[in-house]
Amino acid sequence: MKSKTGNKLLLFLMFFMAHWFFGNLYEEIVLAPNNLVNTFEALSHWQSYFTVSNQIYYYVPITMVAIIIFCILYFNTTDKIQKQFLKKASIFGLLAIGISIIIITQINTKLFFGNNLIKYKDQLYTLSVIWLIGNAIRLYLVASSFYYIFKTYQLNQSQINNKNN
More confident residue, 21 or 165: 21
Give the model confidence (pLDDT) of 59-102 as tens digits: 778 888 888 888 888 888 888 999 999 999 999 999 999 999 99
Confidence of residue 165 (pLDDT cuts 50, 70, 90): low
Domain boundaries, the chain: 4-164
Exposure letters 37-62 (e unless 16+ CB within 10 A, then b) = eebeebbeebbeeeeeeebeeebeeb
Q: What are phi and psi of 46, to 5 degrees?
A: -55, -50
- What type of residue sits at position 153? Y
What region, left, alpha or beta, does residue 113 occupy, with left being phi > 0 and alpha being psi -120 to 50 degrees?
A: beta
Contacts of residue 41, Cβ cutoff 8 Å, sequence gap at least 6: none
